Structure 1
Amino acid sequence: MNSLRYLFTFIAAGTIYSCNQSAPKQTTDTTTVKSPEKKYLSQPLVTHIYTADPSAHVFNGRIYIYPSHDTATGVPEDDLGSHFDMRDFHVLSMDSVGGHVTDHGVALDIKNIPWAHRQLWAPDAAFANNTYYLFFPVKDSQDIFHIGVASSSKPEGPFKAEKTPIKGSYSIDPCVFRDDDGKYYLYFGGIWGGQLQRWNNNQYDSSKGNRKPNDQAILPRMAQLSPDMKSFATPVKEIKLVDEKGDLFKEKDNDKRFFEASWVHKYKGKYYFSYSTGDTHQLCYAIGDNPYGPFTYKGVILKPVEGWTSHHSIIEKDGKWYLFYHDVQLSGKTYLRNVKVTELHYNEDGSIETITP
């Protein structure tokens, strides 16, 4: 769809513009107003389905991407993300960035998750025990998010889900990180629709709402995984995300505080915790000396994309680093997204160059 048709679609539908868009100027004459061509840093990896929240990994020398699968559910948009109601996961793969992308089809359907009720959200994957594991959040019969796990002998699946969620898990956006010593850690959490604000000391309280501006910002969570990759080896703990003075952020620091979309990678011996700020639409990162943190805020990886959400992953392949992310170039709709990839660059001091999408 060219940019002019894209713009007219937005006007006709009366769609609210995302944070980095501006509504067209109103005119009282009949002169045709041409919109400037939209320029994107990169193009969608696939266009036959809508995909988002790409968790990328290199398995057997090939890049595998585990995204959400967006569909038009007809559910009205709200701050809880009710319109994101994924029903299955597809797995994408390619030999290298820029190469042909293969869609391996449905890897896991919500119908085949015994404990699932609705809303499959962003997944992640890992390889251990000669097995591939897919981690995913979905709501149970009480409409509470927990994190489940499924396994397969192949990175593309199909995956067979466990009968129950991981005991002690909650909220959304699982990220699995393997450290150099072979230990695996699961990072997770998301506020607003992700329900993290309802969990205190690992106990659920449905009456808890979003934090007030001067309250301490909600912290992401993590736990070490057991060797079987299906349970926690340690209690779930909060991750301290702090500023350069070592102070925790307040909710009003919403251009820096954690919202959702945890990702952890390692670069030159340092641990990088990256995440989305949600309502300010940035991908930020913080650096720590161990997988438990604390992580000190360092800056912005990706400025706001076209669309409301921002969710990513970071991998190294053939000596280069890449950022996988999504926007709404194909549809212009918040809930119909498309995954993309671009090269990531580090400065000599280990900081990451900010990307404009």
Structure 2
Amino acid sequence: MKKALLALLVIAGYVQPLLAQKKTSGNPIFQGWYADPEAAIFGKEYWVYPTYSAPYNQQVHFDAFSSTDLVNWTKHDNVLDSSNVKWAKRAMWAPAIVKKQGKYYFFFGANDIQNNEATGGIGVAIADKPEGPFKDYLGKPLIDKIVNGAQPIDQFVFRDKDGQYYIIYGGWGHCNIARLKDDFTGLVPFADGTTYREITPKGYVEGPVMFIRKGKYYFMWSEGGWTGPDYRVAYAVGNSINGPFKKVGVVLQQDAAIATGAGHHSVIQIPGTDEWYIIYHRRPLTETDGNHRVTCIDKMEFDKNGLIKPVKITNEGVSARRIK
């Protein structure tokens, strides 16, 4: 009788959605060529803002993805594109996002500038909602010069314990840190009068990330070449925003049985817990095109000494996790 009833329900379309429900996120967590994911938690929702991974002249917009459980993701098309940033013409990538006083600030790199005469660098867009639409905030780049050898790309925005926001950024093997004005319209010099400080650790290439856990400052970055199999994530630990940051080791890299070129990540912590996740991009084993990258998620754990355990990249991804 029960089997007959189940069969009828399946035919009627009531049971199939339950049978098809995903148990884990799977990797990639959503379809399409996306890289350099910036992950954030707003309220009880997870958000991921990746680079649209395409040739530079086509890479002129951003999509976003949201989820309440890390498993099922909703796509939000075109949260920002170059039509809303008049100075951005090509290669918009590697966003960072911050919510402050009810507004959402979206930082991004654009134009892939190669010298200080070119127009481009790190810009800021603003919106009232996490899904946008975002519009250019300044009408010009926030950072538009190559300082200390750091190409102005791959920015990460970090809020310190005292509420001060910093921008940590840089490509070409150099990383700078600068203090942001309260309204994100510019930079504020440090006490010694300098605006930019170089904090490049050994092996740094791009993609900085910083977070605090149990009073320690974890500084992470990507190494190797973004199109190659040596792309990976390393980290250092310091006692303050000023470091010093000495490399501890590599925590994320390719697995020849799973995917290549795992790197350029972000990190989220479940509020009120010591649960951590790493969101990153990698290249499927079947792909050789440099732009064919996908966004993935796996757990990130620490040992008893506070060191990050090597991350095992998986095809399964993670189980559902709602925010209470």
Task: Using structure 2 for the length normalisation, give the TM-score.
Answer: 0.76
| 1:239 maps onto 2:199 in alignment | yes
* Candidates 34, 50, 58, aligned match of 1:51: 34
* Candidates 130, 143, 167, aligned match of 1:155: 130
The residue number in structure 1 matching 2:247 is: 297
The residue number in structure 1 matching 2:169 is: 188
Q: Structure 1 pair 331/182, CA: closer, same or farther in 2 (3 Å)?
A: farther
- 1:90-149: CA deviation from partner (whole Å, max 9, x where unpaired): 111111222x10111111111221111211121110011321000000028854541000
The residue number in structure 2 matching 1:125 is: 97
* Candidates 83, 87, 104, aligned match of 1:111: 83
d(CA) in 2 for partners of 1:45 and 1:175?
22
The residue number in structure 2 matching 1:317 is: 270
The answer (yes or no) to whether the contact 2:57–2:90 under 8 Å persists in 1 is no
| 1:284 maps onto 2:234 in alignment | yes
Runs (4 or more) in structure 1 with deviation over 3 Å come to: 140-145, 167-170, 305-309
d(CA) in 1 for partners of 2:171 and 2:200?
15
The answer (yes or no) to whether the contact 1:70–1:86 under 8 Å persists in 2 is yes
SS in 2 for 1:295: coil
SS in 2 for 1:111: helix
Identical amino acids, percent of aligned pairs: 32
The residue number in structure 2 matching 1:222 is: 177
SS in 1 for 2:88: coil
Q: Structure 1 pair 265/66, CA: closer, same or farther in 2 (3 Å)?
A: same
The answer (yes or no) to whether the contact 1:190–1:261 under 8 Å persists in 2 is yes
Q: Structure 1 pair 167/137, CA: closer, same or farther in 2 (3 Å)?
A: closer
- 1:205-243: CA deviation from partner (whole Å, max 9, x where unpaired): xxxxxxxxxxxxx431111111001211221110152xx
SS in 2 for 1:166: coil
The answer (yes or no) to whether the contact 2:34–2:294 under 8 Å persists in 1 is yes
SS in 2 for 1:165: coil
The answer (yes or no) to whether the contact 1:125–1:176 under 8 Å persists in 2 is yes
Which ranges in structure 1 are unaligned for 5 or more consecutive residues? 1-40, 74-82, 192-217, 242-248, 250-256
SS in 2 for 1:351: coil
| 1:177 maps onto 2:177 in alignment | no
Opposite residue 187 of structure 2, the aligned amino acid is F
- Once the two structures are superposed, the pairs formed by residues 1-357 of structure 1 within 5 Å of their partners are 43-47=27-31, 49-71=32-54, 73=55, 85-98=58-71, 100-139=72-111, 143=118, 145-161=120-136, 162-167=138-143, 170=146, 171-191=152-172, 218-234=173-189, 235-241=195-201, 249=202, 257-279=203-225, 280-304=230-254, 306-308=259-261, 310-318=263-271, 319=273, 320-329=275-284, 332=287, 333-357=289-313
d(CA) in 1 for partners of 2:97 and 2:37?
11
Tell me how far 1:292 sits from its aligned partner: 2.5
d(CA) in 2 for partners of 1:42 and 1:144?
40
Tell me how far 1:278 sits from its aligned partner: 2.0
d(CA) in 1 for partners of 2:277 and 2:57?
26
d(CA) in 2 for partners of 1:278 and 1:143?
26
d(CA) in 2 for partners of 1:301 and 1:316?
17
Residues paired across the two proteins, number: 265
Opposite residue 67 of structure 1, the aligned amino acid is P
Tell me how far 1:293 sits from its aligned partner: 2.1
Q: Structure 1 pair 329/113, CA: closer, same or farther in 2 (3 Å)?
A: same
Opposite residue 263 of structure 1, the aligned amino acid is V
Q: Structure 1 pair 140/316, CA: closer, same or farther in 2 (3 Å)?
A: closer
Opposite residue 160 of structure 2, the aligned amino acid is D
d(CA) in 1 for partners of 2:220 and 2:33?
24
SS in 2 for 1:263: strand
Tell me how far 1:340 sits from its aligned partner: 0.6
Opposite residue 241 of structure 2, the aligned amino acid is P
The answer (yes or no) to whether the contact 1:145–1:172 under 8 Å persists in 2 is no
The answer (yes or no) to whether the contact 1:278–1:310 under 8 Å persists in 2 is no
Tell me how far 1:181 sits from its aligned partner: 1.9
Task: Using structure 1 for the length normalisation, give the TM-score.
Answer: 0.69
The answer (yes or no) to whether the contact 2:232–2:261 under 8 Å persists in 1 is no
Tell me how far 1:167 sits from its aligned partner: 4.4
d(CA) in 1 for partners of 2:85 and 2:34?
21
The answer (yes or no) to whether the contact 1:52–1:68 under 8 Å persists in 2 is yes
d(CA) in 1 for partners of 2:112 and 2:208?
22
